[in-house]
Structure 1
Amino acid sequence: MADRGFDLEEQLTFQADADRRCSLAPADRIDSRGYVSEPPRGGLPVLEADELLVFGSNNYLGLTANQRVQNAARQAAATVGTGSGGSRLTTGDTMVHHDLERLLAETFETDRALAFSSGYAANVGTITALEPDVVFVDEYTHVSAFDGCRLAGTEVVPYGHCDPDALREAVDDALERRAIAEARSNTDANADVDVDTNAGDDTDADADTKANANADADTGDESWLVVTDSVFSQDGWVAPLEELCDVADSVGAWIMVDESHATGLYVRGGGIVQAEGLADRVDIQMGALSTALASQGGYVAGDDALIEWLAARAPPFVESTGLTPMAAAAASEALHLSKHGDHRESLWENVTRLRDGLLTMGYEVDGDSQILPVYVETRDVARALANDLRDRGVIVSAPVRTRSGGHASRNEVREGYVYALPTAAHTRDDLVACLEAFQDAGEALDLL
């Protein structure tokens, strides 16, 4: 068959040469340890003989193997069914979905919440439904936010990572551009006033407008949205949400926070928004049910009007089959356990022990969250370290090259790191084994 312009074999060869080709390597279960297979390439997976410790999963609270979570999924399948059978707007809406959304709204201190089929869908659906005029996005925010902006046809303004001053500068620049454009438009409407509109040359009117733009801080009829992750999977850092809210508030912009890597891990099962007491200042809280909540899907939490609008206008919600009842029930039970169990305390104890052990050995560990990026300078060294650790029985998250989001260097930040991700399910013996593997691998590769 003719390629007719697709020529995927050539593209795959190019990806492999650039070390960008990804492979699927099945595991027997999602837990703190397990057996894995080499990439089967379409054949039947064959599990390797040795069980490995898994320190590369987003299963932060270790609830995928929890009996209560599994039983909740089984009960939902038995009483409601295994699938939704249609869009939530037709036949796919069940009591299980509304129970989950009630718990989410309660946890995130909002009027209501809405469950999507994935966190990606929640991000894309929210931005496309709102169609903001301008979106200011942290340059390392998840790629789904940038995809939502592209689909919405909005103006995208990336700002420096976790930098409120960079956001302020981006907002001020946008205010100046709009004030100048409005001044020129008004001048063009007045035939008695002559304005030089040469590109790159400011008229006296332009200079006066720039001087007053920040003081006016008026976006007119435009809708402006600030988007950021709360915990960044790229480097483990937590965004300075209060300072970002200050900038957004100063110009009447909405702020949307992606809590995918924070949901369930902080006070009363909430995220960074709850930990910092910012629920009344963040307009849109969204996140994933597939990380700490051990299920699948995503959510958006906000006021009544926002949820009503998304339920009617967000394409990934309207046009997709609803989240399965099993996933909704599992997430509900996991959220309950995150609020009332001791899993969060176990996770943070394990994070502290692993971080302290790595630092004591001499590794450089970035971030201030449960994501522990171990810096080793180059992608080649990171891959060598990840491979050596695997040979010693420990799986960590190795650098993977994918397309970038809003900034060319978004994925480059990952290339000099391996990521150690402890969970609440890891025992002290697991942590000791992980640290011993890091010690031996580091010495073998002359990193320590």
Structure 2
Amino acid sequence: MTHGFDLGDRLRERERQDLRRHLDVTERVARRTRFADDPKSGAADFGEEMVVFAANNYLGLADDGRVQRAAEQGARTVGTGAGASRLVTGDTRLHRALERDLADCKGTERALVFSSGYAANVGTIDALAPDAVFSDELNHASIIDGCRVGAAETVVYDHCEADDLRAKMAERASTAGDGEQWLVVTDSVFSMDGDVAPLAALCDAAEEYGAWLMVDEAHATGLFGNGGGVVQREGLSDRVDIQLGTLSKALASQGGYVAGDEELVEYLLNAARSFVFSTGLAPPAAGAAREALRIARETDQTDRLWETVETLREGLEAMGYEVLGETHILPVLVGDRVDALELDERLRDHGVVAPAIRPPTVPEGTSRIRVAPMATHTDADLTQCLDAFEAAGKEVGVL
């Protein structure tokens, strides 16, 4: 009798289901780079340089000199690591400065920085411990895990359907006792479909039942509303109880944040276990995120991104591809998972990296290529991308 884990069998099963993934080594984080297969303990053998349309580095700031210098300054003046939990000795002026800037950007009284967006989601939901969470069916895994850890019950409503949310809240209200605490949680921009939650309608539904609304702006922070997110673009800062996001996408750093009123932040820094029991965000990351946020708010970097997005969307649709969504994330619908995986490979043959997304990440029959442009992509990069999609699409037979 054995009580161990047969991980080899689990890996073989993932292989049989075409779900096993492997690491690829990237030479640098930039719009163009070289890749190598996972070298394990050996040296990486890099191939030809390719143009990257697969990163969440939306503003192209991860290798920006201004952001790099801010990270270096953080390391030199504060240290390479925070050294302890923020509640012990890991709270620094740099953390406070970043949080002030985030709160100002998000139109809130205060913000709190976590070690990751994942930690912010799980820690916040767990700390609130709601009797019921009403969660969009396509919410990110970090929200789902937060619900598993912290919610007494999770009620899933149809994707971006405020009417279904209201119906499910009405159904629960008919049987729930007085005093239940409810939380409605949604992403603002959904990373696989590139669509946007109907935030005003969700605010209406939450307010009707006295629930709190929490919005994860992971894929929106820095890109809408003067460096804020969709909440700021829609003018809803005073109606959304909890604004949350990451520093690792458009802000080209690492970490997550929660923004809200003074009482919320004060409670979370005492009760969110993923904050209390984690070393504070590394000062170089805090410095980099703060400078990236400044660039997003004070320069035309976001305008350049939206111009790039428009060029690619129009070009892909003109070829005959169906491009989902309405944001900077461009999901190119393929349908069949085998075709999507082959299209991914053929794009690489043409020097373009854009990943295939297939079930179970997306529903059966909706496999796609997820194109993620950067503000720093040049006209030549865009031409190469479009030419690659045309050639690869014909080779695979989807055009």
TM-score band by shorter chain is over 0.9
Indicate the residue corresponding to 1:133 in structure 2.
Answer: 131
Query: Within 1, Cα distance between the matches of 2:198 and 2:162?
Result: 7
Please tell me whether the aligned partners of residues 125 and 151 of structure 2 are also in contact (alpha carbons under 8 angstroms): no
Q: Secondary structure at the match of 1:170?
A: helix
Q: Secondary structure at the match of 2:118?
A: helix
Query: Within 2, Cα distance between the matches of 1:429 and 1:321?
Result: 43
TM-score (norm 2): 0.98
Query: Within 2, Cα distance between the matches of 1:42 and 1:266?
Result: 42
Indicate the residue corresponding to 2:300 in structure 1.
Answer: 342
The structure in which a higher percent of residues are strand is 2
Indicate the residue corresponding to 1:63 in structure 2.
Answer: 61
Q: Secondary structure at the match of 2:35?
A: coil
Indicate the residue corresponding to 1:361 in structure 2.
Answer: 319
Is residue 228 from structure 1 mapped to residue 174 from structure 2 by the alignment?
no
Residue 4 of structure 1: CA displacement?
Answer: 3.2
Match of 2:101 among 100, 103, 109: 103
The one-letter code sitting in structure 2 at the alignment partner of 1:123 is N
Q: Secondary structure at the match of 1:267?
A: coil
Query: Within 1, Cα distance between the matches of 2:161 and 2:39?
Result: 43
Please tell me whether the aligned partners of residues 399 and 414 of structure 1 are also in contact (alpha carbons under 8 angstroms): no
Deviations 1:343-374 (A, max 9, x none): 10000000000000000000000001000000
Is residue 46 from structure 1 mapped to residue 4 from structure 2 by the alignment?
no
Please tell me whether the aligned partners of residues 101 and 113 of structure 1 are also in contact (alpha carbons under 8 angstroms): yes
RMSD: 1.4
The one-letter code sitting in structure 2 at the alignment partner of 1:92 is G
Q: Secondary structure at the match of 2:23?
A: coil
Deviations 1:417-440 (A, max 9, x none): 111111101011110110000000
Indicate the residue corresponding to 2:143 in structure 1.
Answer: 145
Deviations 1:247-276 (A, max 9, x none): 001000000000000000012101000000
Deviations 1:291-339 (A, max 9, x none): 0000000000000000000000000000011100000000000000000
Indicate the residue corresponding to 1:386 in structure 2.
Answer: 344
Distance 1:42 1:17, change over 3 A: farther
The one-letter code sitting in structure 2 at the alignment partner of 1:4 is H
Consecutive unaligned residues in structure 2, runs of 5 or more: none
Q: Secondary structure at the match of 1:351?
A: helix
| Identity among equivalent pairs (%) | 52
Query: Within 1, Cα distance between the matches of 2:369 and 2:216?
Result: 23
Residue 41 of structure 1: CA displacement?
Answer: 3.5
Consecutive unaligned residues in structure 1, runs of 5 or more: 183-219, 403-409
Distance 1:313 1:260, change over 3 A: same
The one-letter code sitting in structure 2 at the alignment partner of 1:417 is R
Is residue 422 from structure 1 mapped to residue 373 from structure 2 by the alignment?
yes
Q: Secondary structure at the match of 1:257?
A: strand
Deviations 1:90-131 (A, max 9, x none): 011111000000000000000000000000000000000010
Residue 20 of structure 1: CA displacement?
Answer: 1.4
Residue 42 of structure 1: CA displacement?
Answer: 4.1
**Counterparts of residues 252-263 of structure 1 (less than 5 Å):** 252-263=210-221
Distance 1:177 1:41, change over 3 A: farther
Distance 1:78 1:3, change over 3 A: farther
Distance 1:414 1:291, change over 3 A: farther
Is residue 37 from structure 1 mapped to residue 74 from structure 2 by the alignment?
no
Q: Secondary structure at the match of 1:44?
A: coil
Q: Secondary structure at the match of 1:113?
A: strand
Deviations 1:17-36 (A, max 9, x none): 11111111010111101000
The one-letter code sitting in structure 1 at the alignment partner of 2:144 is F
The one-letter code sitting in structure 1 at the alignment partner of 2:225 is V
